[in-house]
């Protein structure tokens, strides 16, 4: 028998979170909204608007509410874009996050970043949006959105 110690990794406590949001398109200008949040290192990360579901709220209801809160825009859901699942650690807790994304058209409102939640906000041409987004999984949703928008136009 060896004198080596066996070190076992402690499992971090785990928590499931569910969020919803989407790609918000202005059909008149062929642009969409992206939001920027600074990470702990100060780097600006661009993403689609989204946030946590509240109690008894459906993903669709949360997506519309979160878009309004984060961007100042009221949107109408046109189609599902997809669901993204990922896991990350925050304050020694392992979090499994599921995010429901929807394609939305702007109904009304004025673009305004949510104070304390969104650091920057921008309208971006649909042909440029995948280049601006930080996360690869959201970039993949943009391809699906282009196809859905093309189908709606024909």
CATH number of the domain that residue 66 is part of: 3.90.79.10
pLDDT at 7: 55
Does the residue 139 lie in any domain?
yes
Distance CA(40)–CA(49), nearest Å, equals 19
CA 77 to chain centre: 15
Distance CA(113)–CA(34), nearest Å, equals 10
Domains held by the chain: number: 1
CB within 8 A of 95, min separation 6: which ones? 14, 15, 16, 17, 87, 88, 89
Say what the pTM is: 0.86
Distance CA(38)–CA(44), nearest Å, equals 4
pLDDT at 86: 86
Residues of the chain with pLDDT under 70: 1-12
Does the residue 4 lie in any domain?
no
Contact 127, 143 (CB under 8 A): no
pLDDT at 136: 93
Does the residue 3 lie in any domain?
no
pLDDT at 3: 59
Does the residue 71 lie in any domain?
yes
pLDDT at 57: 97
Does the residue 9 lie in any domain?
no
Distance CA(100)–CA(81), nearest Å, equals 8
pLDDT at 108: 97
> What is the span of the domain harbouring residue 78?
14-153
């Amino acid at each position: 028998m060896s004198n080596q110690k066996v070190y076992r990794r402690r499992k971090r406590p785990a928590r499931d979170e569910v969020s919803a949001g989407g790609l918000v398109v202005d059909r008149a200008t062929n642009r969409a909204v992206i939001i920027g949040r600074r990470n702990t290192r100060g780097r600006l990360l661009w993403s689609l608007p989204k946030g946590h579901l509240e109690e008894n709220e459906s993903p669709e209801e949360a997506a519309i509410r979160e878009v309004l809160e984060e961007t100042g825009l009221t949107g109408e859901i046109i189609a599902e874009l997809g669901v993204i699942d990922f896991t990350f650690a925050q304050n020694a807790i392992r979090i499994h996050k599921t995010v429901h994304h929807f394609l939305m058209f702007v109904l009304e409102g004025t673009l305004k970043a949510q104070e304390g939640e969104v650091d920057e906000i921008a309208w971006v041409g649909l042909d440029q949006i995948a280049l601006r987004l930080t996360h690869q999984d959201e970039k993949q949703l943009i391809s699906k959105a282009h196809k859905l928008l093309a189908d709606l136009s024909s």
